[in-house]
């Protein structure tokens, strides 16, 4: 019985380590978001909004100021950026791609592991957009 418990504990630790340490492949996650309208999914959100000439740069500054968030690929100069934001405790990665297309910002925030993000991506994106509109 103890052997089974140790094996289960080892599998749990290995799973948690994989979630936290798995590499993020830019070729998989840094893709144009293709947002036609605002949508909310169990695993994330898509948002579209008009942006001024410096909208992407302003949003980039807001997103980079978010705890546990880093740039995976891209830059404001390229017109598209993908960010990785990790959850505080378990380190689950969420990916957000932002692209400027013809004066419009398109955002696609989604999870990597699991089936539901419990609304975390939507809340994060809405917070970013509220800060962007306040500036």
Give 83-116 pLDDT, tens digit per residue.
999 998 888 999 999 999 989 999 999 999 999 9
| Domain ranges across the chain | 25-134
Distance in angstroms (rounded) separating the CA atoms of residues 64 and 114: 25
From first to last of the 135 residues of the chain, give the pLDDT tens digit: 888 889 888 898 888 888 788 899 999 999 999 899 999 999 999 999 998 889 999 999 999 999 999 999 999 999 999 999 999 888 899 999 999 998 999 999 999 999 999 999 999 999 999 999 987
Alpha-carbon distances of 53 from 69, 99, 103, rounded to whole Å: 24, 13, 7
Residues in the chain: 135
Q: What's the CA gap between 42 and 96, in Å, rounded?
A: 15
CATH topology of domain 25-134: TATA-Binding Protein (3.30.310)
């Amino acid at each position: 019985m103890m052997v089974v418990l140790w094996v289960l504990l080892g599998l749990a630790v290995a799973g948690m380590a994989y979630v936290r340490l798995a590499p993020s492949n830019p070729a998989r996650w840094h893709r144009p978001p293709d947002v036609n309208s605002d949508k909310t999914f169990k695993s994330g959100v898509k948002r579209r909004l008009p942006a001024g000439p410096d909208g992407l740069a302003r949003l980039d500054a807001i997103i980079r100021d978010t705890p546990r968030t880093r740039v995976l690929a891209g830059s404001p100069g390229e017109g598209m950026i993908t960010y990785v934001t990790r959850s505080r405790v378990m380190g689950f990665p969420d990916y957000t791609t932002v692209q400027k297309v013809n004066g419009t910002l398109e955002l696609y925030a989604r999870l990597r592991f699991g089936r539901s993000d419990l609304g975390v991506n939507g809340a994060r994106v809405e917070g970013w957009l509220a800060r962007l509109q306040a500036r």
